[in-house]
């Protein structure tokens, strides 16, 4: 990994956020321009949210309906003063030119050890830089 890529990775961590599009879709995020990512109750997902920081890179994944990575976003602020309810504000960056369906993600070598497939119910999943690039390349 080149030095500048390593620095960017250490500065801005990538994450995958799962959402049910019938409740709140990527198009809703684009329409709203910004939102608080909430409704998380899983302790591991809450810990991951609390560890996020401004500038972190996000991939938005539609679960239940569509089952695909659909767009990118970024963290604009984090208030983790209440550990049971961290306030993470996000903004959309861009819709993926080509959505990455669950079947393709599952088959990708980059995701063989991903918590996305070991802990299916996790709604906030840390990504490696390689996973982020794979999801967002078109």
Instruction: Return all residues near 65 (Cβ < 8 A) that are at least 6 apart.
Output: 20, 21, 22
Q: What is the pLDDT along the chain (138 residues), one digit of tens a residue?
A: 455 555 554 578 999 999 999 999 999 999 999 999 988 888 999 999 999 999 999 999 999 889 999 999 999 999 999 988 999 999 999 999 999 999 999 999 989 888 777 666 778 999 999 999 999 986
* Residue that the structure tokens 């990527």 belong to: 26
State the pLDDT at residue 2: 57
**Termini Cα distance of the chain:** 21
Q: Model pTM? A: 0.88
State the pLDDT at residue 118: 67
């Amino acid at each position: 990994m080149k030095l500048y890529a390593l620095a960017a990775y250490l500065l801005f961590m990538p994450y995958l956020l799962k959402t049910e599009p019938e409740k709140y879709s990527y198009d809703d995020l684009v329409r709203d321009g910004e939102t608080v990512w909430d409704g998380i109750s899983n302790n591991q997902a809450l810990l991951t949210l609390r560890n996020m920081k401004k500038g972190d890179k996000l991939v938005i994944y539609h679960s239940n309906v569509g089952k695909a990575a659909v767009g990118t976003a970024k963290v604009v602020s984090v208030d983790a003063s209440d550990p049971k309810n961290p306030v993470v504000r996000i903004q959309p960056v861009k819709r993926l030119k080509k959505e990455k369906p669950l079947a393709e993600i599952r088959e990708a070598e980059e995701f063989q050890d991903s918590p996305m497939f070991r802990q299916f119910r996790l709604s906030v999943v840390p990504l490696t830089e390689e996973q982020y690039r794979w999801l967002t390349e078109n």
